[in-house]
Structure 1
């Protein structure tokens, strides 16, 4: 009874929100400080850096997001696997191909963390603010983000570390420290790596864990249980079950996580896309009108504001951003790939924003538009957003909300196990790589799963999501300074392919 009370909404929400709200309000305000666009509207400065960086990398790498797309597909399919065995590049001329997972597994692990509730609730929020035109800006942001993802994931592999047991440690922590040291900024690199690690740990507990489980439970309770059964104050039971399932997977490390995500991700994406396609098929006559509405609203002020603020702020904060491009988190998963060519995984990584933003988010937007679920100018929260999408699917076939519930639970589960890996990598960077250190982090992570399902935790989630936002600051500094290194790696890989073909 005491345990149930302590983690119930009545016993936990008020105290924990007050503590986090008072202690971290200044941090949230600083990260989300806005640059005014109009007398009533502004854009957080961090978003301008993300967009500016994505545009810069797109131009600097000669539109790699487009020119490298076909090659990325071929890498995932294994077309160039023969290059790995014959590789004799300047960094590693051994016969051993270091890494723990395949290109496909690295991609699915990263996609499992990015394809989530932001692609469902975040899109509804964006359209509610900006109307159908917000969809165009959402897609544009996704396309530009492909270039940022290419840069950070190439660096993740280039500067990773592999221990005696073959376990890989990589991500912004390592390319910030080692890369900036090469550039002659060793102190700056160490400071930025530590800052990134702290923020990544906080983000893993909040946006990558508590928010995911909280929203999954709310939809499960609304669709499956309501109005027959109420679990008011009993969310911890749902959280405990999920914590056990998550614990079973994450205890095995990246190999176990990848072996799960390479099965879950295709299933969850297919389930969701099939449901959306059926609704679109039933309303196929309205699809041209939906595209027309999107185009007409592209340069409407509401469309612009909705696309940037709705998707980039609400979509990011309420789903760990649509694709996390520029944040650096995905590079942690991609660092574990089996390859001798860092640029090969950078190319694979650029597929992520295409999948989760260009494809999944666009299809969600079309369903919301043609089913008339969006009322522009009425701002909604993430819970209302996910219920709007549920209603849109229900308009096609009455039992579709149950399908969405399954998809959302898979989204949440896969995001949690992937973010646990991100958080642990940052944790091990700060506190060491021993088994004891690993199990302490994973135990804490599972405890937060129970807490996340039991309470609303508004202030905690806001803070944690803001920490994910803040990961961008040290990461983008590293990406700008180390972009010549990425260009060198891309040239190396392209030359190897040309030699193989010739």
Structure 2
């Protein structure tokens, strides 16, 4: 997945190479933004209206509301990548990584729209009302409409395999490991070494809590997510704002460092490119735009208009990356904890992003790390339950619904395993599995982009002429 990209006739600096998947994701995001006529900008306000329920109809097929689908997908994306991942990106790539996080998030809104629209178009609704959707379906069935059925079957199978791997890695083991590190570090600050000596206890508790929810499927996951996501996002953003206000004198310098760092040419071997790669890579891991995973959750939404769910989905990268990740990044920069030669160099070197962010919170108020620790545990928990659903849908695609219980037990085993695996290995495995999902997904979505654009144009015409509101018996808003 990684190759050394030549810059000005030379290879990129030692330790800085350009992952092919970064070019694939970034190029795909630019393509979909242009192909869909900047839907990430013109569809933003309408997305808020649809999410609020202005166009909801409970009679439509599906298992969850627009908001529940958004909350379920956000509970998977707003996770430790927003806290630990951003801290790692800044530690390894400098403040400039924040700029590229934001750029990737804004462009990723169009990618998310495209893939989640397809998730609705090609979803399957069983007689009992259970919905199955996502790249496994639109790659196989969608490409068949283009007379590319063999390619579709191969891509769908490949996606299902790597998505299952991603559910065990970034969607499970990484979340548990980073949450454990944050809680363990905070307890050690108070001379409590229990989790340092018995980390498996944390894994066991998390496995039980996750098991209680995932046994109920997407309905219970969505019901849990719609309560947890607003709480954890609100709590975290308020805490970040407090720290930024407390360090308001440092904000101008931080913003300058972010912009200068984004276009840094300190190294003739591509310092700017290295920062860009780190920012986009962590943005992809955080908001998952281009990976196709969110379309699995959005496929379950109650609607008869696929484009409307794609419109809702484009809010995810904005909330996840442009808002939450940027908040984390600013806190890390204004407090200066990312310095590799500073007092927290151990966390920087070992890739322990959660404890690093905790130290940034501690600089504002001694008890603030506990707020972060609670947020981290909520983020990790919500990500676990949503990614278990993603992985289970892929498992069912390969082995049938009757074997779903086997997957759930394996997933819970990985939850426990996450408490005893080192952070560096988790990060590498997580990136490999999750980012691999982008190759089959973006290829398929690009090939099907003509179908999406035609549906978007038709939907947008109805929206602008007020026909969407009349169709649902509501006044136009």
How high is the TM-score relative to the length of structure 1?
A: 0.86
Question: 2:392 is matched with which residue: 424, 438, 442?
Answer: 424
Query: How many Å apart are 1:350 and its aligned residue?
Result: 0.7
Residue in structure 1 matched with residue 376 of structure 2 by the alignment: 408
Q: Distance in 2 between matches of 1:455 and 1:122?
A: 17
Q: CA 1:164–1:34 in 2, change beyond 3 Å: closer, same or farther?
A: farther
Question: 1:47 is matched with which residue: 19, 22, 26?
Answer: 22
Contiguous gaps of at least 5 residues in structure 1: 1-30, 86-95
Q: Distance in 1 between matches of 2:355 and 2:468?
A: 52
Matches within 5 A, 1:224-239: 224-226=187-189, 227-239=191-203
Query: How many Å apart are 1:323 and its aligned residue?
Result: 0.6
Q: CA 1:460–1:266 in 2, change beyond 3 Å: closer, same or farther?
A: closer
Matches within 5 A, 1:90-489: 96-226=59-189, 227-301=191-265, 304-313=272-281, 315=282, 321-375=285-339, 380-381=348-349, 383-434=351-402, 437-456=403-422, 459=425, 462-489=428-455
Q: CA 1:76–1:426 in 2, change beyond 3 Å: closer, same or farther?
A: same
SS in 2 for 1:279: helix
Question: 2:459 is matched with which residue: 493, 496, 502?
Answer: 493
Q: CA 1:359–1:381 in 2, change beyond 3 Å: closer, same or farther?
A: farther
SS in 1 for 2:419: helix
Query: How many Å apart are 1:374 and its aligned residue?
Result: 2.5
Query: How many Å apart are 1:430 and its aligned residue?
Result: 0.3
Contiguous gaps of at least 5 residues in structure 2: 471-477
Contact 1:136 1:307 in 2 (8 A): no
Q: Distance in 2 between matches of 1:307 and 1:109?
A: 31
Q: Distance in 2 between matches of 1:349 and 1:286?
A: 35
Q: CA 1:501–1:202 in 2, change beyond 3 Å: closer, same or farther?
A: closer
Q: Distance in 2 between matches of 1:59 and 1:496?
A: 21
SS in 2 for 1:380: helix
How high is the TM-score relative to the length of structure 2?
A: 0.90
Worse overlay, 254-263 or 34-43: 34-43
Q: Distance in 2 between matches of 1:73 and 1:214?
A: 34
How many residues are aligned here? 454
Contact 1:197 1:427 in 2 (8 A): yes
Q: Distance in 1 between matches of 2:204 and 2:469?
A: 53
Query: How many Å apart are 1:286 and its aligned residue?
Result: 2.5
- 1:17-69 deviation line (CA, Å, top 9, x unaligned): xxxxxxxxxxxxxx233434452232111110110010011111111111111
Q: Distance in 2 between matches of 1:100 and 1:34?
A: 46
Q: Distance in 1 between matches of 2:23 and 2:112?
A: 17
SS in 2 for 1:246: helix
SS in 2 for 1:325: coil
Aligned-residue CA RMSD (Å) = 2.0
Q: Distance in 2 between matches of 1:34 and 1:99?
A: 46
Q: CA 1:143–1:461 in 2, change beyond 3 Å: closer, same or farther?
A: closer
Q: Distance in 1 between matches of 2:107 and 2:350?
A: 25
Query: How many Å apart are 1:478 and its aligned residue?
Result: 0.5
Contact 1:169 1:425 in 2 (8 A): yes
